[in-house]
Structure 1
Amino acid sequence: MKIFLFLLLCYSSGLGNEIKYNLYLKNPCLNEVEISFNYYLEKDGKQYHISDFKTGTVLLPKKGQYILVSTGTGDIQNIQLNEEVNSDTLTIPRIQEYLVTHDKHGYIFRNCDKPSDGLQKSYYSDGSIKLIGEFKEGLVVGVLKEFYHNGKIKQISNYTKDGFLTKTTRFDENGKIIKE
């Protein structure tokens, strides 16, 4: 009987070793925090996706270093998970690009639900620059620069004064042109 209880205890304690992770997004426009469902974690080339869609929880096999990929904010960062239950909160960029099907431009940039106007900057959750551009009534006019999380240029797009795209140059994370 003692051996059975010992084996049962060892077996049940092994089941509870999984690590839980949740990502939350802070909306700076509404000053609200919500559960994110647009992310995954990666370790040693393996991706771990949400397993509980009620809570947005990812279950992981062990503690340690993971890469957090948030498609909701564009953030990619290394995180260290040391607890049985872990979470992070990322800030949604204030400036968002929206697809508009009834407009000849096909898109518009909004800053907290208002059309972007003037020189505007958007940032990743850690404060590093995500994009900078000149806008007029939600349309880019002039140059729009987008940056990787590490601060290097990701893409430079040129627009007319009427907001029409004329040229885009895309760079890899080492600064090499990959598409023009």
Structure 2
Amino acid sequence: MIRIDDKDVEKILEFAGIDNAGGPIYRYQGYPFNGIIESFYSSGKLQDEAEYTDGHLGGVQREYYENGKIREEYYKYFAKPHGHWKEWDEDGILIHHSIWKEGQKTETLLG
């Protein structure tokens, strides 16, 4: 699995189209991209991570506050929320937790 800065996506990955969920499909060296695209705040600190599986947005997605603490963590399957979705405040306290299945919220556990 490779990590790519979002500023380098167009230089490293080949755009292969749009999937059924409206998300981009990427290829790397002729094969479906498996890896993480990262973006950063202007300060250089990590802002978010988007995992791609078989070219599609799928897997763990994380967003961070500029202070470095995690803001959200959720999972996507073919660009749709699927599984746990958690959100924390800037102090690191869990404030929301829900369960999703194929893009539909099925349960709220907190918040």
Q: Where on the TM-score scale, by shorter chain, does this alignment land: which range?
A: 0.5 to 0.7
Identity percentage of aligned residues:
28
> Aligned partners of 1:125 and 1:132: how far apart in 2?
16
Q: What is the CA-CA distance between 1:131 and the residue it aligns to? A: 0.8
Q: Deviations over 1:122-143 (max 9, x none)?
A: 111110000123214352x210
Name the SS of the counterpart of 1:150 in structure 2: coil
Instruction: Give matches, 1:165-180, under 5 Å.
Output: 165-166=81-82, 167-180=84-97
Unpaired segments of 5 or more residues in structure 2? Answer: 1-5, 10-17, 28-32, 98-111
TM-score by length of 2: 0.54
Q: Which residue does the alignment assign to 1:128?
A: 45
Q: Which has the higher contact order (CA 8 A, sep 6+)?
A: 2
Calculate the aligned-residue CA RMSD, in Å: 2.8
Q: Deviations over 1:58-115 (max 9, x none)?
A: xxxxxxxxxxxxxxxxxxxxxxxxxxxxxxxxxxx637xxxxxx96424x36xxxx84
Task: Name whichever structure is richer in strand by fraction.
Answer: 2
- Higher CA-based Rg: 1
> Aligned partners of 2:86 and 2:46: how far apart in 1?
18
> Aligned partners of 1:124 and 1:173: how far apart in 2?
16
Q: Which residue does the alignment assign to 1:8?
A: none
Unpaired segments of 5 or more residues in structure 1? Answer: 1-92, 96-101
Instruction: Give matches, 1:43-122, under 5 Å.
Output: 94=7, 104-106=20-22, 108=23, 115=26, 117=33, 118-122=35-39
Q: Deviations over 1:20-67 (max 9, x none)?
A: xxxxxxxxxxxxxxxxxxxxxxxxxxxxxxxxxxxxxxxxxxxxxxxx
